[in-house]
Amino acid sequence: LPPEKRVGFAVVGLGRLSLEEILPAFGEAKMARPVALVSGSPDKAKLVAAQYGIAAEAIYGYGDWDRLKANPAVQAVYVVTPNALHREHVVAAAGAGKHVLCEKPMATSPDEARAMIEACAQAKVKLMIAYRCQYEPNNREVTKIARSGSLGRLRLIQAFNGQTSGLPEQWRLRKALAGGGALPDIGLYCLNGVRALTGEEPVSVTAQVHSTPDSPLFREVEESVVFTLTFPSGVIAQCGTSYGVHESRRLDVHTEGGALTLENAFAYRGQRLMIAHREGTRVQKDEPVIPPKNQFALELDHMAECILKDRRPRTPGEEGLQDQILMAAIYEAARSRAPVTV
């Protein structure tokens, strides 16, 4: 679309994700463009605005929602602030009559997520949660193959998303701002990914949480979580996440007649899909070539298209709420050391 027909977004919160991924991704988007910034750091915002051709008048502070409301160029707001602030910023954006794209995790509790859905419904604006992997072509191919039945029945899924966490003073390690540790930040990709892959909702959850004793990093939030999800069809997903390991983000799907492996499944880039299946007595191994695409651009375009064509996003607020409910069940299962029925 030509620039003037594209959906105008205000980006809220100019942190690492906004500066390093989202704002650059607009350059690869076809239906979205950045037209405004919301930031608590005016000097940074001025620099960023100049870099992206955003008008100086379209820079707002976190208390300027009335002024933002009056800017007709802003059709959608992309909330990219710490997790515990998502509710406040989504509700404010809805109050300003703007459609909302909100970063994951949606919130820090199911009740917050419900309030956000309600606010957007009341304001008759769309709410999408930024589950970028659901827009990423390799992840989508895995889902397509697994569900097609071409490799036989789906049985077991293993999903792992781990990395080392950075400095101890960051908000991600403060429970009040993050809501939790590795689980809501990166383990969520495993949870949301296996739900998207199976197309089912888990009925039962088991979990274990562990943090290195005496680590200054994990006084408030957890370091590692392993959890299993049992689905109505009998599929079992075994998931793991950690802030204390060498980076690894891998998805393995085991079916009756084959196996799919997606390396770097939950990374920004670098996905590599491998498929093994039996052909007679031989094992056939394939590595399909899937042209890489910027998943942030695909996600922005999906939201823009939903606004332009008045469609419901593939990952609406309800999708975020369901994950909040399941994450609460995972923590409860770990606490009680017993399976939790959902």
Which residues of this chain interact with ligand NDP, rule CB under 6 A?
13-18, 39-41, 44, 80-83, 85, 103-104, 130, 132, 171, 185
Q: Report how far Cα 258 is from the mean position of its chain's Cα atoms.
A: 28
Nearer to ligand NDP, 80 or 92 (CB): 80
Looking at beta carbons, which residue is closest to ligand NDP?
15
Cβ-count burial of 306 within 10 angstroms (0-12 exposed, 13-18 middle, 19+ buried)? buried
User: Catalytic residue at 268?
Assistant: no
Instruction: Mark residue 24 as left, alpha or beta (left: phi above 0; alpha: psi -120 to 50; beta: remaining).
Output: alpha
- Residue 162 near residue 240, CB atoms below 8 Å: yes
Nearer to ligand NDP, 57 or 256 (CB): 57
Smallest gap from residue 191 Cβ to ligand NDP (A): 14
- Rounded CA separation 172/252 (Å): 28
Nearer to ligand NDP, 52 or 171 (CB): 171
Smallest gap from residue 119 Cβ to ligand NDP (A): 18
Residue owning tokens 């980006």: 11
Smallest gap from residue 189 Cβ to ligand NDP (A): 8
User: Catalytic residue at 104?
Assistant: yes
- Rounded CA separation 112/185 (Å): 17
- Rg (Cα) of the chain, in Å, rounded? 20
Nearer to ligand NDP, 6 or 132 (CB): 132
Catalytic residue among 60, 78, 135, 189: 189
CA distances from 258 to 68, 124, 146, 284 (A): 52, 45, 10, 9
Nearer to ligand NDP, 48 or 342 (CB): 48
Residue owning tokens 């996600």: 299
Smallest gap from residue 71 Cβ to ligand NDP (A): 18
Closest to 316 in 3D by CA, of 121, 143, 139, 137: 121
Nearer to ligand NDP, 17 or 259 (CB): 17
Burial 172-198 (b: 16+ CB within 10 A, else e): bbbeebbbbbbbbbbbbbbbbbbbbbb
Closest to 162 in 3D by CA, of 177, 181, 175: 181
Residue owning tokens 């562990």: 210
Catalytic residue among 104, 126, 131, 331: 104
Q: Which residues, in sequence order, are CB contacts of 112 under 8 Å at separation 6+?
A: 86, 87, 106, 324
Tell me which residues are annotated as active site: 104, 189
